[in-house]
Structure 1
Amino acid sequence: MCPDAQSVADAFGLGRAESLSEPVARGELGQVRRLVTDTGVWAVKESLDPVGDAEVAEAEASGAFHRACWEAGVPTPQPRLSVAGGHSAEVGGELLRAYGWVDLDDPDPGLDPVEVGSLLAALHAVRRPGVGGVHAWFEAPVGEREWRAVLKASRGAGAPYADRLGEMLPHLLAVESLLTPMVPVQMLHLDLWADNLRRRSSDGTACVIDFDNAGPGDPAREVAMLVVEFGQGDPRRQRLLYDAYRDAGGPGRVTSPEDLALTVAQLHHIGHRHIRMWLAARDSESRARSLAGVEEFLGQPLLLPDVERLVATLA
């Protein structure tokens, strides 16, 4: 249900509402609407999950970290506090956050690796203690039992990817052997894929968005993740990003294959989620969207040899 524009504006003290759009962007956890008021243009993020005490607490913790990063000068849209002083607000049963509107280019893992490394170092310089435990999404394996279960279900459903998943399964299990618990050193973004680190259309500089998954973690594992995403498998780009990060004071050091555990865990949970969504889809549009995610996962896997090469490149 679309929230009332004026109610949203009132919740964040944004003045008189003029319009509130249909969703203009959608992610795994939420969707964004464009709110125009007499004070400016705002991005309103609406959670897609049911709202409970745990969700509100998580939104407040990640929102506080986002605001700390913005106040420290990290390039990110300005987060707007609610009139109650929080980082989110419930409006019509929906959990909302508000930010200054920023026009962004499409996701591009080919961003300047030096700029990406320097930006990550600035983000890691915001040293806030980790809040709560590390979520399984960021450290736990999908596991052999579950992988075999979705493979069996996919074959039974005649999934077009089933044979490739079967061929890939031993390699997926092998790289999951790297997954160890992540030490909660400090608050991190934890979702800095190309979807959430983009160029601003106005000046072409990099900008961090979507702190919804922010939580405790190890900076070494996050810089390794960005080396994978924005290094594009090119040792030169990987080294440029990592050197720029270290030169700018970034604290993380990639020294072992286990430092890629955050990357492997997320890629596997994302791929597993798309498979489960394909199996549950009841219409062609949903199935096509899920299949695209499965194809990306199986087409660009991160396997043990890739991990070993990357660690050697950065050593």
Structure 2
Amino acid sequence: MSTLQAQDVAEVFGLGQARARLRAVPGGHVHRMWRLDTDRGSYAVKEMNRQDNPEWMPWLQAAWRLELAAWHARIRMPEPVPPPGGGVVAEVPVADGPPATVRVHRWVNGRSISQPIDAIVGNWAGRTLAALHSLAMPAEPRWAFPPTGTTEATRWQELVELSKDAGAEWGGDLAALAPVVEEIYDLTQIAATRWLPDVLTHADLRAKNVLVAATGPVLVDWDMAAAKVPREDLAGCALSVSGWNQDDGPVRETLRQVIAGYRAAGGALERPLDVVDAAGDLGNEVDWVAAVARRAIGQGAQGPDDMERSAKLIPGLIRALPNKLLAARSLRWLLADQF
């Protein structure tokens, strides 16, 4: 349980006098989120789950550079609030433990949405991606960013055995995914041979990272910015926001509006998207299923609550993975008359 205090955050970031305690904001899968109200306004406070590896801070700093560039390019997003000394995060003292690593944004009043999003927001998503790609920011330092594709596909059988040994009810369903995982792995290997130029991008423009405010949609959560080939970034976004996890497939009009918005805003797309363009995101989905499965059986879980939450999530993730592959295979057909 965090003991981060509102006034401590306000003082470190120079935000005036706190008016109330921090209020927990639901929905964060990796970091704790809070609302801070002060005499100068309202702020979103992210208490970071700090990673003990040499890549994390350079990666976060690169994501911060993209976020600032996007803000100055007038992309719709919460205003980032740097600490007075500059940089992306600050260490905030905690009375009964080590300092908390914190970052802050202006609060945005908006409603969360889920996939599939409606076609109008889909068009905005495509336009937003085009604007991000036009920044043409290099992903530097290259070594700080996670590899594309999947790291878990080649260890799938090991994960299946671990889940069965742990008595997981879904162990058999995880085993049944093996052919799907193998096909996705093969696609990532094909994609890796294309050597297409990439850019630094948000990399996670998904329904979970969109708030709809009174003035329109807003893109949040920039910490996972990564190097992506623009057409692959577009494919992953379009499939996800149109509901590729659904049993009856993605909503075609939403998917098509993402592409239409992208092209209308100057995004370059000379040939139709296909399943290989979605390979990287499919690989990420494999790794996400594996990560949640491991946490559900206690590997890397942040306590019993995290294990319980992961155990509730994993059946739906297992069920959705074949749907996502099928949707990616259908990309050419879904977009046939747009090229």
TM-score (norm 2): 0.83
Asked if 1:106 corresponds to 2:115, the answer is: no
Deviation, structure 1 residue 216:
1.9
Over residues 13-57 of structure 1, what are the superposed CA-to-partner deviations in whole Å (9 max), with x where a residue is unaligned?
212222341431352331211111111111111111246764333
Aligned counterpart in structure 2 of residue 189 of structure 1, from 177, 202, 224: 202
Query: 1:308 aligns to what?
Result: 329
For 2:253, give the aligned amino acid. Answer: R
Q: SS state of the match for residue 23, structure 1? A: strand
Contact 1:108 / 1:194 at 8 angstroms: preserved in 2? Answer: yes
CA shift in 2, pair 1:184/1:271, >3 Å = farther
* Structure 2 CA distance for aligned equivalents of residues 284 and 225 of structure 1: 32
* Structure 1 CA distance for aligned equivalents of residues 221 and 118 of structure 2: 18
* Structure 2 CA distance for aligned equivalents of residues 107 and 48 of structure 1: 25
Shifted more, 14-23 versus 264-273: the winner is 14-23
Query: 2:313 aligns to what?
Result: 293
Q: Which runs of 5+ in 2 are unaligned?
A: 94-98, 244-249
Q: SS state of the match for residue 301, structure 1? A: helix
* Structure 1 CA distance for aligned equivalents of residues 302 and 52 of structure 2: 25
CA shift in 2, pair 1:26/1:305, >3 Å = closer
For 2:118, give the aligned amino acid. Answer: L
Query: 2:247 aligns to what?
Result: none
- How many residue pairs were aligned? 312
Query: 2:218 aligns to what?
Result: 207
* Structure 1 CA distance for aligned equivalents of residues 13 and 148 of structure 2: 32
Query: 1:142 aligns to what?
Result: 152
Deviation, structure 1 residue 183:
5.2
For 2:290, give the aligned amino acid. Answer: H
* Structure 1 CA distance for aligned equivalents of residues 314 and 40 of structure 2: 42
Deviation, structure 1 residue 76:
0.4
Over residues 118-144 of structure 1, what are the superposed CA-to-partner deviations in whole Å (9 max), with x where a residue is unaligned?
222223233222122374464234123
Deviation, structure 1 residue 285:
4.5
Over residues 159-180 of structure 1, what are the superposed CA-to-partner deviations in whole Å (9 max), with x where a residue is unaligned?
1211211222112111221114
TM-score (norm 1): 0.89
Query: 1:62 aligns to what?
Result: 63
Q: SS state of the match for residue 211, structure 1? A: coil
| Superposed CA RMSD | 2.4
Identity among equivalent pairs (%): 24
CA shift in 2, pair 1:286/1:83, >3 Å = closer
Q: Which runs of 5+ in 1 are unaligned?
A: none
Contact 1:257 / 1:308 at 8 angstroms: preserved in 2? Answer: yes
Shifted more, 129-138 versus 87-96: the winner is 129-138
Q: SS state of the match for residue 83, structure 1? A: coil
Query: 1:258 aligns to what?
Result: 276
